[in-house]
Amino acid sequence: MPSDPSSATKASLDASARYIEEKKVYELFEGLMADLLIKKPNDPIAHMIASLKQPPRPRVFVFGPPGADTQSQCELISSKLGLVHVVPKAVWREAAKGGSEAGASAKALEDEGKEVPLELKVSMLVEKLESAECKANGWVLDGFPANPDEARALLGAGMLPTLAVVLELTDAQAVAALTGRRVDPEANNVYHLTDAPPPDATVAARLVQRPDDEEAAVRRRLGVYRSSIAGIAPLIKKVSFVVDGAAPKEAIYEQVAPRVTAEMPSRAPRGCPRVLLLGGPGVYTADVATGVADAYGAKLISARELLVAQGESLIGKKAAGYLKAGQLDKVPTDLIGPLVLARLGEEDVRRHGFVLCGFPNTSEQAAWLTKKGVWFRHVALLDLTEEAAVRRLEGTRFDPADGARYHPDETWPSDPAVVGRLVPPHTKDDANYTVERAVKSNARFAAHALKEWKARAPKLLAQFPQLQVEDGAMPTRAIVETLAPCFVLLEQ
């Protein structure tokens, strides 16, 4: 335990911040407050207790212009994630079949080609979305709201989406998708002249184009959609996710699925970045850590740099052998741990946040940090396939003149003089040194390092339930951009 009052206060603040974030206290009360203001129950306390007993479920809107095939995407989300696919017209029919007077009225109006009154639409939709089935599984709403008035009415009734997917198409893409569509009036099959042509000339001869698919009609429909979505967009900005609607539906789903959540994005305050970067052999973790520190203003805490800074001190001398052999992962906890802990407690780190790399390297070291009260808001693993790691480790060369690193697959010097003096990493001072011997030695080192990483990684990574995995093969700059949400609150 900290001995002085200042340290005790800092520890208490850290513990409180951790509790608030891990238990999502701000988000909890934010959600309850929004629900109270919308529902306005007579007994707020009883209402909140009932709300807390009902676990939240995903609530998804899907928008898209004519030709974007929102129905297929809704069906995919529903089938793969278990959400209820809610289609307004089906709701009216279902209600009418069940003997509902409102449902019968809505169905009759639609059958006559007349507009269903907004209040009637919303009341039936809310009844469906509040049903036991939708509350238990979550829902994805297809084709509604179609204009700002419908959006305001639905949101005002408390149907707040946790995600709004917007499938984006250019006018040219939408026109091409719809004007090429043809219907077989005999079999009622739908074809597309380029994407899904009819099977033979006989079928092709009887195909017809629906009036709604003629270019003039498509462009009118597009104009209505563009105007409507412009009015809806500000209302759903906080939960919107725009995706290329021309991509294959499975590819769209792969982008959407990770964002389907039971929780709405929160405006809860977030403290300084507290980021741990992990990576096995061949991953340029230190470069990425330096890049994000420079880009986002967090303080870089490098285990290697902390040890190097010890110079000729007792700790520095003990660590020198590990550093020279490229074995940072083998530095004992009692050497590096206190250095990391002391740096984490310094005022500039507390004020600006940090990105830590090079420690912990084992599950025991991770547990040691936890015992010392250290916690991480984000933990990112920069991952490489074994093949990619071997290629990096065996192909990496250093310029002994300035320490610059090169790799033939990434960056390679154009100056023949520089190329001539490049050496593999972990080159030993040896009177019998040759590049060939060093290359073989480096290959053995790479194989050994990967074997050790594979042995210790599962237990280490299991210490961090908040772990996110990023592609360590990407260029450093791309990884830095990918990690931006760990360091800045992006506008919703």
Question: Average pLDDT of 42-69?
Answer: 88
φ, ψ of residue 23 in degrees (nearest 5): -90, -5
- The Cα 210–Cα 182 span in angstroms is 7
> Do 229 and 166 form a contact (C-beta atoms < 8 A)?
yes
Would you say residue 435 has pLDDT above 80? no
- In which band, very low, low, confident or very high, does the pLDDT at 2 lie, cut at 50, 70 and 90? very low
- Strands 190-192 and 181-183, bridge-based pairing: antiparallel
Among 40-49, 358-367, 422-431, the minimum mean pLDDT is found in: 422-431
Helix (H, G, I), strand (E, B) or coil at 411: strand
Looking at residue 293, its pLDDT comes to 95
Would you say residue 322 has pLDDT above 90? no
Place of tokens 């530095």: 331
Best CA proximity match to 169, nearest among 264, 251, 69, 87:
69
- In which band, very low, low, confident or very high, does the pLDDT at 268 lie, cut at 50, 70 and 90? low
Listed in sequence order, the residues at least 6 apart from 395 whose beta carbon sits closer than 8 Å to its beta carbon are: 407, 408, 409
- Strands 299-302 and 354-357, bridge-based pairing: parallel
Would you say residue 386 has pLDDT above 90? no
More confident residue, 406 or 450: 450
Contacts by residues 74-79 (CB-CB < 8 Å, ≥ 24 positions apart): 74/140, 74/141, 74/142, 76/249, 76/250, 76/253, 77/140, 77/253, 77/256, 77/257, 77/260, 78/140
Distance (Å) of CA 165 to CA 59, 81, 92, 137, 415 = 11, 15, 24, 19, 50
For the chain, helix, strand, coil in percent to 5 are 55, 15, 35
Among 226-240, 255-269, 279-293, 430-444, the minimum mean pLDDT is found in: 430-444
Note the pLDDT tens digit of each residue in 207-231: 999 998 899 999 999 999 999 999 9
Distance (Å) of CA 84 to CA 87, 100, 139, 226 = 10, 21, 4, 27
φ, ψ of residue 382 in degrees (nearest 5): -90, 105
Question: Average pLDDT of 25-54?
Answer: 78
Note the pLDDT tens digit of each residue in 155-169: 988 898 999 999 999
- In which band, very low, low, confident or very high, does the pLDDT at 418 lie, cut at 50, 70 and 90? confident
> What is the DSSP annotation of 430-452?
-TT--HHHHHHHHHHHHHHHHHH
- The Cα 110–Cα 342 span in angstroms is 70
- The Cα 487–Cα 239 span in angstroms is 20
Question: Average pLDDT of 429-445?
Answer: 59
Question: Average pLDDT of 269-281?
Answer: 86
Angle, helix 118-129 to helix 148-156, in steps of 10 degrees = 50
Q: What is the dihedral of CA 98, 101, 106, 110, to 10 degrees?
A: 80
Listed in sequence order, the residues at least 6 apart from 334 whose beta carbon sits closer than 8 Å to its beta carbon are: none
More confident residue, 2 or 40: 40
Query: In the chain, what are the domains?
Result: 56-83+138-259 (3.40.50.300), 274-486 (3.40.50.300)
